[in-house]
Structure 1
């Protein structure tokens, strides 16, 4: 009879193997889609007489969208047969990989929850989970750091003339010139350092030639998921709007774009926290209480299963995962339900994590 440790080890090996398969499928899907889009744009340019490379192109009637649809259905090869066949071949490969991704997701531990979250379909879900590995992430903040959503120390600046407030990483060289708060031309004043203690800002993009400390593609996917939440509505969209309204009341000196991006980033971090919680719980791995931000009110963080459409309860299983909280770490862990609703801020900001640590 296998012990719990042996069982967890076997499940971890299986999980990482399926993660590598999902990673390959997601990469193949992305490559096929990229070539298909590039070829489609070339066909569009030929039809619109913007590309003279293909002098032997056959004249074609109709608009570009109609032509591309006919190429996908096999009714036409387009103005340039070689381009048309290339476009159709990669479109078919894209559809095949999308189907393979949907099939692979059926066996993913977090899919029973993900498929009920409004705003994230199998394509975005597959792209994200292909980049992550819950067995290597001991805390939700590991997901954030890997996806480029961790914060770094910063400096806050403020203009005494218009009240504009901005924060930048400590390493940034900031000039005093800025656009007037509200976007009405350049302000006559200068921004000056107003606060240096306790300022955290979004992790900046790496400089040219510098390797990123996070997975840039995973960050892009998280952004796409966040914007999809806003378009489709649902629980995460509601959370974003609450956070944005709170920032509008508490941070009048912030630019509109900054309030939007901050609220969106908090929404993405909350979603990743919930994904981590559901994923780890499904694998019977130890849990810690996730949080959406160091200043977050813990009473606003609901359990993952309250964020699905329609809101449901976590599936039952034979054993409950172990939850270790910040103040009793090292003491006896206590069993909790898979919902793990109680969430509160940590005592320290998340640590940075290597890009390779969470790769399947």
Structure 2
């Protein structure tokens, strides 16, 4: 008892914080955008099937070859037009909500990070610095783990897929690779992967959103000179990180495919973006906390 009384810091619980960097309004609009986007894609696919009059590459005719004035085609086209309008209005509302978020000032300094993409990432992760379940601060490592960007110890002869694409999206417009690494030294940390028959303890949506932002940052910041060498536009941090990582793995893992190297670099960029976002959120919370107690 005396020891506990002399050092209360060992059992002291930090004061809870308010995860106000993610608001219900932002979440509602982001979810609504997902709904309209999915419906719009479904209607577009339906319209394509209704009107397609060509055979597929395997020689099968899967379209119905309906004319544009067919009542069914007209009905689908009307629905598609209305969904595109609703989706556009929701995007504008989501962007407006993001502009009023304190994290938008950080976003303005990040080449390639858009209002819509950041808002959708926040919908997936919540407040980057404060957990929504217990209102306690989380570490950047916890944020990475929530997004499935953590690493796990490998075991001998562990089969690891060369592809690091995200479920629900195809990075770089390519397919998954079936190549494997059959020999990894025990104790080596490897990127967390989904395993058949096991439920992952991270958010696939959050991982997807982080990867999509990383892709956008790379597209916005990476350029090539006349000799085909990559360079970072305007000194973009994420573009330079991507370039450095690709150059590094080209030397350390010459056996990797271009897809493997691409996805590995995007994973590293995703982690850097999340780290910087976490730091920005932490600074906002700490500044507000200091202001509230008059420091």
TM-score, normalised by the number of residues in structure 2:
0.68
Residue 214 of structure 1 and its aligned partner are, at CA, apart by 0.8
Q: Structure 1 residue aligned with 2:219, among 231, 236, 239?
A: 231
In 2, the alpha carbon distance for the partners of 1:167 and 1:204 equals: 11
The SS at the match of 2:154 is strand
Q: Deviations over 1:168-199 (max 9, x none)?
A: 39xxxxxxxxxxxxxxxx99xx97645212x1
Q: Deviations over 1:133-172 (max 9, x none)?
A: 2212521112111111111111466xxxxxxxx9639xxx
CA 1:14 to 1:223, structure 2 compared with 1: closer, same or farther past 3 Å? closer
In 2, the alpha carbon distance for the partners of 1:318 and 1:215 equals: 29
Residue 319 of structure 1 and its aligned partner are, at CA, apart by 5.2
Residue 116 of structure 1 and its aligned partner are, at CA, apart by 2.7
Q: Structure 2 residue aligned with 1:261, among 251, 257, 263?
A: 263
Residue 47 of structure 1 and its aligned partner are, at CA, apart by 2.8
Q: Structure 2 residue aligned with 1:214, among 202, 221, 228?
A: 202
The SS at the match of 1:195 is coil
1:23–1:130: 8 Å Cα contact kept in structure 2? yes
CA 1:256 to 1:44, structure 2 compared with 1: closer, same or farther past 3 Å? closer
Residue 226 of structure 1 and its aligned partner are, at CA, apart by 1.6
2:147–2:202: 8 Å Cα contact kept in structure 1? yes
Which residue number corresponds to residue 77 of structure 2? Answer: 84
1:269-288 → structure 2 map (5 Å cutoff): 269-284=271-286
CA 1:25 to 1:193, structure 2 compared with 1: closer, same or farther past 3 Å? same
Q: Structure 2 residue aligned with 1:119, among 99, 104, 112?
A: 112
Q: Deviations over 1:102-126 (max 9, x none)?
A: 1111122211111331112112111
1:152–1:203: 8 Å Cα contact kept in structure 2? yes
Which residue number corresponds to residue 47 of structure 1? Answer: 51
1:17-56 → structure 2 map (5 Å cutoff): 18=23, 20-49=24-53, 50-52=62-64
1:280-359 → structure 2 map (5 Å cutoff): 280-284=282-286
Q: Does 1:202 align with 2:191?
A: yes
In 2, the alpha carbon distance for the partners of 1:128 and 1:14 equals: 15
The SS at the match of 1:135 is coil
Residue 13 of structure 1 and its aligned partner are, at CA, apart by 5.6
1:131-150 → structure 2 map (5 Å cutoff): 131-132=124-125, 133=127, 134-136=129-131, 137-150=137-150
Q: Does 1:93 align with 2:82?
A: no
Which residue number corresponds to residue 12 of structure 1? Answer: 18
Which residue number corresponds to residue 154 of structure 1? Answer: 154
Q: Does 1:58 align with 2:69?
A: yes
In 2, the alpha carbon distance for the partners of 1:111 and 1:150 equals: 26
Residue 260 of structure 1 and its aligned partner are, at CA, apart by 2.5
TM-score, normalised by the number of residues in structure 1:
0.57
In 1, the alpha carbon distance for the partners of 2:42 and 2:28 equals: 21
Q: Which runs of 5+ in 1 are unaligned?
A: 1-7, 60-77, 158-165, 170-185, 286-316, 321-334, 336-360
The SS at the match of 2:46 is helix
Give me the CA root mean square deviation: 3.3
The SS at the match of 1:226 is helix
1:109–1:283: 8 Å Cα contact kept in structure 2? no
In 2, the alpha carbon distance for the partners of 1:267 and 1:126 equals: 18
Q: Structure 2 residue aligned with 1:130, among 123, 128, 134?
A: 123
1:101–1:126: 8 Å Cα contact kept in structure 2? yes
Q: Which runs of 5+ in 2 are unaligned?
A: 1-14, 54-61, 132-136, 162-177, 222-235
